[in-house]
Amino acid sequence: MAAIPLTPEQINALSRELPAWSLLNGKLHRELRFSDFVAAFGFMTQVALVAEAMGHHPEWSNVWNRVVVDLTTHDTGGLSDLDLELARRIDALAAEGAGR
């Protein structure tokens, strides 16, 4: 999937469209907390399958029940439509029940 860089207008609109995310060091950043490690890792497993299908992968870390996600596009050296789409899908999976 070819990544299309986000326009400045799209970047300005991010906080409205993705309120759970912030811009940190030029990347889309979200921190999630789950009930325990299994819930956190289950969520990561679901995201991993989505990411692999998209050919677009998060930078992330996990400590017990917490998951920290940063989205950026290495191919373009900035934010792209793929980061926006992956963030939306991560929000959907998080809302689906795994946690917060």
Residue (57 or 89) nearer to ligand H2B, CB? 57
Reported as type and span, the H/E element at residue 70 is strand 66-71
Residue (90 or 99) nearer to ligand H2B, CB? 90
Looking up tokens 């469209």, which residue turns up?
A: 17
Residue (83 or 99) nearer to ligand H2B, CB? 83
The CB-of-36 to ligand H2B minimum distance in angstroms stands at 28
Beta partners for residue 63, in sequence order: 66
The CB-of-18 to ligand H2B minimum distance in angstroms stands at 16
Contacts with ligand H2B by CB under 6 A lie at 55-57, 72-75
CB atoms within 10 A of CB 21: 23
Torsion angle of the four alpha carbons 21, 24, 26, 28, in this order, in degrees rounded to the nearest 10: -20
The CB-of-5 to ligand H2B minimum distance in angstroms stands at 11
Looking up tokens 């996600």, which residue turns up?
A: 69
